[in-house]
Amino acid sequence: LPAPVRSFLSLSQEERTIGPYRLKRQLGRGGFAPVWLAEEVYGDTTLRLAAVKLFSLDPRPRAGRPAAAQAIVDEARRLCQVEHPNIVRFYALTIDEARGLVGLAMEYIAGEALSDRLRDRGPLPVVDALELGAAVASALSAVHAAGLVHRDISPANILVAASPTLGGPGAYKLIDFGIAAALPQGSSPESRPNAAWARELLLGGDLPETLGGTALSALPEAIQLGPEEAADLAGPLTRVGGKLGYVDPVCWRELRPATMASDLYGLGALLFACLTGRIPAAGTGALRGEVLDGRARAPRLVELVPGAPAELDRLVDALLDPDPAKRPRSAELVAIELERLRGLSRARPIALPPEDEGPFRGLERFEQAHRDIFFGRRVEIAATLEALRSHGLVALVGPSGSGKSSLARAGVLPAIAEGALGGPRRWDTAV
């Protein structure tokens, strides 16, 4: 950790305060920015719990780049504009110039990291993976709309909320937006980390010591980098961001910064790992450097999960395409497709209407009771659910007789009642 952060964390609990936040215990560590559970305190009153991410403050601009403080403020400003049920909320940014620290306060989610759940319980069923994927893709759509790139889509950065007030089990929250990746790196020994530190930033802490028969200590040999790139591991690689197996191959190969297409690759790797228990580069057994850097495609999902739906297999394969230009155009389109597949995958008895009524409505509209004979609108249902999830309010507008009422009553409302929006599993509807 940077010296200002180390010095601050060595203080007693009563002294360990930044702004109104009193740090209690460490929750996690991302790169060189640890996250602590904190109480927001005013006087003798504790208002709420928060998660505070600590950064070291470097006030010196370099090479035309803004000082670290301004870079963090700029990104935090954009993050605070992202309101989405599957994204952790950001509360405040506190700068302590005397100590050389910046604290980013966020909502505290009681739950567990998806990486822990996968480690303890194994791969997810297809239905659960589709719910997770739709939630994360929807969150990424909001992130990208704000002009941001997450940079670090992986199981370690997705929380599964445990409290019913926060959505109940299965409510997913995207965390850790990699603000540290925007920090300028200096050339001094203290501010310019060594190659081992850079590899640790890329590998992350959510992988087992061995994966697919390849020890993590052997990874520099497993990943083919040119001599110039290998000699400069402490430079450009530290700005790539992400964790092993989830990083865009272009970022590995050409040391480019992450883009929105990189987030989509991370989403594909996330779905692959949730369904198979392996990152794509280790899908066939041993870890393959040629998959990490894009010289070879990842194995198909159906090779490891034979029962996976063909449409899901094609979508994951497209997300993992080594060429960013060939991946889906946007996270929103991916969210809609995953929600459509999720709607198709729900296993429950089909309710047919009485024989005297029959399955054909003619010119009559479809009601909630007719949901199982209302077909051909999966894309429209999924798009409406995605708009609701992102914006909260949706108006269905169109010519008379175009099917607005049927779409709402037989398509959207039943899906919401089944928990398609995440969060509470019981919703009241009014017609």
Q: Residue 216 pLDDT more than 80?
A: no
What is the structure's pLDDT at 58?
Answer: 67
What is the structure's pLDDT at 200?
Answer: 40
What is the structure's pLDDT at 60?
Answer: 57
Closest CA to 222 of 295, 137, 141: 295
What is the structure's pLDDT at 29?
Answer: 59
Cβ count near 85 (within 10 Å): 21
Q: Residue 12 pLDDT more than 60?
A: yes
Q: Residue 229 pLDDT more than 60?
A: no
199 neighbors 220 (Cβ within 8 angstroms): yes
Residue 272 CA: distances (Å) to CA of 154, 297, 299, 350, 417: 11, 13, 10, 30, 28
What is the signed CA dihedral for 227, 228, 229, 233, rounded to 10 degrees? Answer: 100
Running DSSP on this structure, what letter comes out for residue 166? G
For 283-329, what is each residue's pLDDT tens digit?
A: 887 778 889 889 999 999 999 999 899 999 999 999 999 999 999 99
User: What tokens appear for 19 in the block?
Assistant: 């702004």
pLDDT band with cut points at 50, 70 and 90 for residue 221: very low
Cβ count near 94 (within 10 Å): 16
The CA distance from 413 to 431, in Å, is: 10
Cβ count near 70 (within 10 Å): 12
173 neighbors 159 (Cβ within 8 angstroms): yes
What is the structure's pLDDT at 288?
Answer: 84
Burial profile 230-244: b = 16 or more Cβ within 10 angstroms, e = fewer: eebbbbbbbbbbbbb
CA angle 173, 161, 348 (to 5 degrees): 95
Which run of H or E residues covers position 211? strand 210-211
For 260-275, what is each residue's pLDDT tens digit?
A: 999 999 999 999 999 9
pLDDT band with cut points at 50, 70 and 90 for residue 152: confident
What is the structure's pLDDT at 196?
Answer: 40
Q: Residue 232 pLDDT more than 60?
A: no
The CA distance from 327 to 319, in Å, is: 5
pLDDT band with cut points at 50, 70 and 90 for residue 241: very low
What is the structure's pLDDT at 222?
Answer: 39
pLDDT band with cut points at 50, 70 and 90 for residue 129: very high
3-state secondary structure of 316: helix
Question: pLDDT above 70 covers what percent of the chain?
Answer: 77
Q: Residue 424 pLDDT more than 80?
A: no
Query: Which residues make Cβ contacts (< 8 Å) with residue 340, sequence separation at least 6?
Result: 378, 379, 381, 382
What is the structure's pLDDT at 391?
Answer: 82
What is the structure's pLDDT at 419?
Answer: 77
Long-range CB pairs of 89-95 (<8 Å, 24+ gap) are: 91/40, 91/50, 92/19, 94/18, 94/19, 94/20, 94/21, 95/57, 95/69
What is the structure's pLDDT at 215?
Answer: 36
Closest CA to 370 of 330, 340, 408: 408
For 24-59, what is each residue's pLDDT tens digit?
A: 999 865 556 788 999 999 988 999 999 998 988 765
For 189-215, what is each residue's pLDDT tens digit?
A: 333 333 343 344 344 333 333 333 333
More confident residue, 175 or 187: 175
For 365-414, what is each residue's pLDDT tens digit?
A: 999 888 888 877 888 898 898 888 888 899 999 999 889 999 999 999 98
Name the average pLDDT for the chain.
79
**CB burial class (10 A; 0-12, 13-18, 19+) of residue 283?**
buried
Residue with tokens 């398509």, as numbered in its chain: 411
pLDDT band with cut points at 50, 70 and 90 for residue 340: confident
For 155-176, what is each residue's pLDDT tens digit?
A: 988 998 864 443 334 578 898 7
Sequence-ordered strand ranges (E) for 108-163: 111-113, 158-161
CA angle 195, 197, 198 (to 5 degrees): 65
The CA distance from 335 to 330, in Å, is: 9
